[in-house]
C-alpha cells in the first residue's frame, strides 16, 4: 500500500508541474520571457518540493468497491404451474404495500375447487342424515328398552302375586282344615258322652258333616299344592323373560351407539377438506400483491407464460440501501461493524455519501476479481455490508460504487506528508525542514519527530521541534542537515511566468 501511495503522490507532483508549465506557456506564447525560460530550466533540474506543516484531519482507510442494492429486498415467489393472466407492474415501477402485482389464470383451479366442494357438501348431507337416523334409532331403542323392561317386570310381579295368592289360599285352607278337625273331634266326644239318644245322634250327624267338609278342604289344599310348581315356573319364566329383554334391548342400544361413534370414521372428510383448503390457498395465490412498498427491480414472467422459477419478481426498498464489498485478506481483521465509510459513484461525481459498516462476513469466498474499482464482479475474499446512512442520496439500485472504509481518523492534528518522514538507524524519525536563509538560499534543518497516527497521505507528528507553518521537504533523498536545498517556489515561478507574459504583451 505504501508503494501505491508514493506513486500517487509523485503523479500529483507531475500534474502540478505540467499545470505551471501550461500556465507559463499560455501566458508567454507571444513573448517567451527570460523568467519563464529560467523556470522551465529549473523544473528539469530535479528540484525538491516542500509542504507546509499544518493541522488537518487525517484518516486511515481502505478502498473497496461494490454495487448499490436494497437493504430490504423481497423476492416474490410462486409455486403455481398456472399461466400468468395479467401483469400489473413493470420494472422500475414503485409499488405500495398491498398493490396488485400480477394475476394467474385460476379457472382450472376454481373448477376443481367447486367440484370437490360440491362433493363434500353432498357427503356431508348424507352424513348428517345418517347421523340423525342413528340418533333417532338410539333414542327409540332406549325408549323401547324402558317399555319392554317395565312390561317384563309387570309379568314377574303378576306371576309372583299369583303364586303368593295360591300360597296364602293354601295357608287359609290348612287353618280351616285344622279348626274343623278339632271341631269334629269335639263333636264325637260330645256324642259319645250324651245320655240322650237324640242328642247323641244329632252330634254324630254334625261330626259326619264336619268330616265331609274336611275331605272337601283337603281336596282343595291338594289341588292348590299341585299348582305351586307351575306358579314357581311362571315366576322364573317371567324373570328369565325380563333378563332376555334387558340383554336384547341393551344390545340394540349398543349397536345404535356404535353406529353414532363410527360416524367419525365412516364419514371422515379430513383428507377432502385438506384438498379443498389446498385448492383455496392456490386460488388465493393466483392474486399476487406487494408484501411491502418498494421498486420492482426484476420480473421473471410474462403474460401467458408459466413461471420456470420460483422467484417471479423482486421488490427492493430504495430508501434503505447497502453495498456489499469484498475485503482483502490483509484487511479483513481491520474492519469492524460500526466503522464509518465514504461512498462515491461515477453518477454522483465528487459527492461523498456517508455510510456505515453494518456487517463483516469472516468467511472466505472464492471468485473472479472485478475488472475495475467500480465493478463489483465476483471478487474472491471476505466481504462486508455497508449501509447508506441517509435516504436522500441520489444513489440508485444497481450503481457501481467506490467505498472508503475509515479504519481510524483524527481531527485537527499536526501532520506532515508520510513521504517526508525519514527513519534513522536507531529507529527514531526525523524530517528535513526547508529554512529560508534570507540570502536567496534555503538550507536543510533536521527536526526529530515522533509519529502518531498514520493516515492514507499524512502522518500525525507529536514533536516540539516542528511547529505549524514550518516547511518540510517532501522527498529529501540524500540531503542532510545543513545542506543547501534546490527548492522550487511554484508561486514565484508562476509570478515570473505571468510577468514575462505581461512584458511580451507590452512589447507587442
Query: Which of the pair, 43 or 112, is modelled with greater confidence?
Result: 112
Cell reading at 12: 500529483
Residue 73: per-residue pLDDT: 84
Residue 397: per-residue pLDDT: 87
- Reported as a pLDDT band with limits 50, 70 and 90, residue 341 is very high
Q: How many residues does the chain have?
A: 508
Report the chain's C-alpha Rg in angstroms.
61
- Reported as a pLDDT band with limits 50, 70 and 90, residue 367 is low
pTM for this prediction: 0.50
Query: Which of the pair, 38 or 269, is modelled with greater confidence?
Result: 269
Residue 89: per-residue pLDDT: 94
Residue 400: per-residue pLDDT: 94
- Reported as a pLDDT band with limits 50, 70 and 90, residue 346 is very high
Residue 454: per-residue pLDDT: 87
**pLDDT beyond 50 at 340:** yes
- Reported as a pLDDT band with limits 50, 70 and 90, residue 162 is very high
Q: Which residue has the cell 482507510?
A: 61
- The stretch 132-152 carries a mean pLDDT of 92
Chain mean pLDDT for the chain = 83
Buried (b) or exposed (e) across 377-404, using 16+ Cβ within 10 A?
Answer: bebebbbbbbebeeeebebebebbbbbb
Full set of structural domains in the chain with CATH: 48-71+318-487 (2.40.30.170), 73-105+286-316 (2.40.50.100), 109-266 (1.10.287)
Residue 319: per-residue pLDDT: 81
Cell reading at 208: 259326619
Q: Of 259, 268, 278, give the one whose Cα is nearest residue 120.
A: 268
Residue 146: per-residue pLDDT: 93
Residue 83: per-residue pLDDT: 93
Residue 34: per-residue pLDDT: 44
Range name among 9-18, 146-155, 418-427, 442-451 with the lowest pLDDT average: 9-18
Q: Which residue has the cell 444497481?
A: 398
**pLDDT beyond 90 at 219:** yes
Predicted confidence (pLDDT) per residue in 279-337, tens digit: 999 999 999 999 988 899 899 999 999 998 889 999 988 888 999 999 998 889 999 99
Winning range, highest mean pLDDT, from 36-45, 238-247, 408-417: 238-247
Predicted confidence (pLDDT) per residue in 166-191, tens digit: 999 999 999 999 999 999 999 999 98
Task: Give the ranges where 346-403 is alpha helix by DSSP (H).
Answer: none
Predicted confidence (pLDDT) per residue in 45-101, tens digit: 457 889 999 999 888 889 999 999 888 888 999 988 899 999 999 998 999 999 999
CA distance linking residue 422 with residue 269, whole number of Å: 89
- The stretch 456-461 carries a mean pLDDT of 87
Identify the H or E element spanning 285. Answer: helix 270-285
Amino acid at each position: 500500500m505504501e508503494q501505491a501511495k508514493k506513486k500517487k503522490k509523485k503523479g500529483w507532483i507531475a500534474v502540478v508541474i505540467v499545470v505551471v508549465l501550461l500556465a507559463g506557456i499560455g501566458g508567454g506564447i507571444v513573448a517567451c520571457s527570460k523568467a519563464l525560460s529560467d523556470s522551465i530550466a529549473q523544473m528539469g533540474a530535479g528540484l525538491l518540493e516542500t509542504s507546509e506543516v499544518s493541522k488537518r484531519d487525517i484518516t486511515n482507510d481502505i478502498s473497496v468497491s461494490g454495487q448499490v442494492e436494497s437493504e430490504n429486498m423481497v423476492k416474490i415467489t410462486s409455486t403455481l404451474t398456472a399461466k400468468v393472466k395479467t401483469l400489473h407492474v413493470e420494472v422500475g415501477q414503485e409499488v405500495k404495500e398491498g398493490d396488485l402485482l400480477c394475476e394467474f389464470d385460476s379457472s382450472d383451479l376454481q373448477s376443481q375447487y367447486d367440484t370437490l366442494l360440491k362433493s363434500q357438501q353432498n357427503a356431508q348431507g348424507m352424513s348428517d342424515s345418517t347421523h340423525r337416523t342413528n340418533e333417532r334409532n338410539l333414542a327409540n331403542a332406549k325408549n323401547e328398552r324402558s317399555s319392554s323392561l317395565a312390561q317384563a317386570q309387570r309379568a314377574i310381579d303378576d306371576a309372583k302375586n299369583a303364586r303368593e295368592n295360591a300360597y296364602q289360599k293354601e295357608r287359609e285352607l290348612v287353618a280351616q282344615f285344622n279348626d274343623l278337625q278339632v271341631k269334629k273331634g269335639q263333636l264325637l266326644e260330645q256324642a259319645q258322652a250324651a245320655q240322650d239318644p237324640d242328642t247323641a245322634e244329632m252330634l254324630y250327624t254334625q261330626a259326619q258333616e264336619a268330616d265331609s267338609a274336611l275331605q272337601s278342604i283337603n281336596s282343595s289344599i291338594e289341588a292348590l299344592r299341585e299348582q305351586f310348581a307351575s306358579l314357581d315356573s311362571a315366576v322364573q319364566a317371567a324373570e328369565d323373560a325380563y333378563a332376555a329383554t334387558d340383554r336384547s334391548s341393551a344390545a340394540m342400544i349398543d349397536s345404535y351407539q356404535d353406529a353414532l361413534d363410527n360416524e367419525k370414521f365412516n364419514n371422515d372428510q379430513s383428507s377432502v377438506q385438506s384438498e379443498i383448503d389446498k385448492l383455496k390457498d392456490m386460488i388465493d395465490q393466483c392474486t399476487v400483491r406487494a408484501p411491502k412498498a418498494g421498486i420492482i427491480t426484476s420480473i421473471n414472467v410474462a403474460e401467458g407464460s408459466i413461471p420456470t422459477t420460483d422467484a417471479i419478481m423482486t421488490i427492493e426498498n430504495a430508501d434503505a440501501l447497502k453495498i456489499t464489498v469484498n475485503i482483502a485478506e490483509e484487511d479483513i481483521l481491520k474492519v469492524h461493524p460500526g466503522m464509518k465509510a465514504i461512498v462515491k459513484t461515477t453518477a454522483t461525481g465528487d459527492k461523498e455519501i456517508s455510510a456505515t459498516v453494518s456487517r463483516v462476513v469472516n468467511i472466505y469466498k472464492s471468485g473472479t476479481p472485478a475488472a475495475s474499482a467500480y465493478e463489483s464482479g465476483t471478487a474472491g475474499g471476505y466481504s462486508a455490508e455497508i449501509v447508506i446512512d441517509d435516504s436522500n442520496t441520489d444513489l440508485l439500485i444497481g450503481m457501481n460504487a467506490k467505498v472508503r472504509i475509515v479504519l481510524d481518523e483524527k481531527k485537527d492534528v499536526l501532520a506532515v506528508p508520510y513521504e517526508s518522514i525519514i527513519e534513522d538507524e536507531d529507529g527514531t524519525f526525523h524530517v528535513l525542514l526547508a529554512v529560508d536563509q534570507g540570502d536567496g538560499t534555503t538550507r536543510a534543518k533536521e527536526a526529530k519527530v515522533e509519529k502518531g497516527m498514520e493516515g492514507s497521505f499524512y502522518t500525525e507528528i507529536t514533536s516540539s521541534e516542528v511547529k505549524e507553518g514550518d516547511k518540510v521537504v517532501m522527498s529529501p533523498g540524500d540531503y542532510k542537515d545543513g545542506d543547501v536545498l534546490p527548492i522550487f517556489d511554484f508561486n514565484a515561478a508562476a509570478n515570473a511566468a505571468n510577468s514575462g507574459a505581461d512584458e511580451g504583451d507590452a512589447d507587442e
